[in-house]
Amino acid sequence: MGLRKFLRVILLCWVLSVFYCLKAVCDDASEVTVKFLKAPPSHSNMKSATFVFEALAGNNEETFSLYTFNCKLDGGISSDCRERHVSFSGLLDGNHTFKVCANTSQGVGCASYNWTVDTIPPTAYVGASTTFTNASNISVYISFSEPCIGAGGGFRCFSANACNLLVYGAGQVIPYTLKILQPNLKYSVIVNLSSTSQHGRAILVMDKGFCTDYAGNKFTRTENSSLTVHFDRRSVFVRMRTHVPERLLQINDETRTVQATNNYKYLKLYLYFTQPVLNTSYEILNTLTSSEGMLHPIAGKSLMNRRFGYRIENLSSIAVVTVRLNSNAIISRQGTPVSPVAPATFLYDSKRPAVTLSAFSKMRTRETSITILIKFVKPVFGFNSTAVSISGGHLRSFHEISRNAYVAMIQPK
């Protein structure tokens, strides 16, 4: 071995010994050591801890004089602990370090002890990609607050009846789909939703006390340890309603019910969905088309996103308004597109109807009555004899021929 190589080995030995000394918590090169006779478990669920310790000098049990024992908890101040026995209480959850040093005639020896106080029981959060679905199954996520692999051995799912995720209602866990996403912390499993019913719910809840954490705290459920999943595979419908009043109207010799108004305040359209939808009022507005004018959302009770209102503005004075909804672009809470719906049509007319009067008989004798045809350019409502005023005669009869044609027979004086 060359000299340089020899020196290098010596240097390495020195470095290693210094490193070893630091690592072994040796504050002093003395042969005095401190040994714990009693200490809390490395993970404790107790807020109190008791230490019992003794000092030893080397291997040969040589007698020595003990001057002092000094004890220190975490960053606190040192205190005398000559009784070789010390207790703490009211400890906070977290990591703690206890250090004890013995000052003896043979030198100083120290030892430290690390432990974790954990009084919080482990729990788990149960989640799913969605809690409303039309699917036949859903992925369920289980996330533990801390590893729970003490007594019991952690989360297990051997069969539908032996699974730490319990399923009540119209669902069943599919055990072979269990996946470990993060060991001892995160899992996923598929839950099969009943195919015999069109709609229903399944309640997923963690089992009770099936495991403990390192400190021995028993698993505890919280409000987040259960989840209700709703499934609904029924079709979703929408009803379009306007506030425009319905009237009977004669169109091409046919009496029909039409929605017609001259009142601006009735120009409102409401959509009623059979299920809550995911879309906003503005998103739905984008799926609405009006043949005339413009639609504007109006605030109002949404009945849990089932009702939406719109005002129709900027209509010309006479308009046949048809509003269509592209319902397929609207998605219900359970993911189902809304079924098609017929458009809503109504008549808006804010112009006063023009009227013409024409006499059938021009013979003005005392005996002959005069027949007057009262003709409006468009259908009118609420027109009756009280609206006819006569000077120099009186009304003998009055008939409605159609919504826009009336006949008045006048007897002159």
For the CB of residue 314, give the shortest distance to ligand NAG in the complex, in Å: 4
**Pick 181 or 278: Cβ nearer ligand NAG:** 278
Query: Can you tell me whether residue 284 is helix, strand or coil?
Result: helix
For the CB of residue 410, give the shortest distance to ligand NAG in the complex, in Å: 18
Angle at the Cα of 393 (from 389 to 394), degrees rounded to 5?
60
For the CB of residue 140, give the shortest distance to ligand NAG in the complex, in Å: 12
Between the alpha carbon of residue 352 and those of residues 19, 263, 349, 380, 381, the distances in Å are 103, 12, 8, 10, 12
**Pick 84 or 412: Cβ nearer ligand NAG:** 84
For the CB of residue 319, give the shortest distance to ligand NAG in the complex, in Å: 13
Q: Are 72 and 111 in contact (CB under 8 A)?
A: no
Q: Which residue is closest to ligand NAG by CB?
A: 335
Pairing of strands 344-349, 254-261: parallel
**Pick 143 or 412: Cβ nearer ligand NAG:** 143
For the CB of residue 4, give the shortest distance to ligand NAG in the complex, in Å: 36
**Pick 80 or 313: Cβ nearer ligand NAG:** 313
For the CB of residue 383, give the shortest distance to ligand NAG in the complex, in Å: 7
**Pick 134 or 261: Cβ nearer ligand NAG:** 134
For the CB of residue 105, give the shortest distance to ligand NAG in the complex, in Å: 9
For the CB of residue 157, give the shortest distance to ligand NAG in the complex, in Å: 13
The DSSP output letter for 41 is: -
Rg (CA), the chain: 45
Pairing of strands 43-44, 107-117: parallel
**Pick 134 or 259: Cβ nearer ligand NAG:** 134
Which DSSP helix (H) or strand (E) runs through 318? strand 318-325
**Pick 233 or 375: Cβ nearer ligand NAG:** 233
**Pick 211 or 312: Cβ nearer ligand NAG:** 312
Tell me the C-alpha distance between 44 and 120, whole Å: 11
**Pick 52 or 66: Cβ nearer ligand NAG:** 66
**Pick 166 or 412: Cβ nearer ligand NAG:** 166
Sheet holding 226-232, edge to edge: 132-133, 226-232, 199-206, 165-169
**Pick 281 or 369: Cβ nearer ligand NAG:** 281
Retrieve residue 103's tokens.
């000052």
Positions in the binding site for ligand NAG (CB under 6 A): 25, 67, 94-95, 97, 103, 108, 112, 114, 116, 134-137, 172, 174, 177, 190, 192, 194-196, 222-224, 278-279, 283, 286-287, 313-314, 329-331, 335-337, 382, 384, 386
What count of other Cβ atoms lies within 10 Å of the Cβ of residue 180?
12
Beta-bridge partners for 226: 205
Task: Scan for tokens 């230490």, then name that residue.
Answer: 51
Tell me the C-alpha distance between 96 and 76, whole Å: 11
For the CB of residue 48, give the shortest distance to ligand NAG in the complex, in Å: 19
Tell me the C-alpha distance between 84 and 51, whole Å: 8
Q: Are 90 and 57 in contact (CB under 8 A)?
A: no
What's the chain's length in residues? 413
Which residues, at least 6 apart from 217, have a Cβ–Cβ distance to it below 8 Å? 45, 118, 119, 120, 121, 122
For the CB of residue 225, give the shortest distance to ligand NAG in the complex, in Å: 8
388 Cα distance to chain centroid = 65
For the CB of residue 9, give the shortest distance to ligand NAG in the complex, in Å: 29
Beta-bridge partners for 179: 188
184 Cα distance to chain centroid = 26
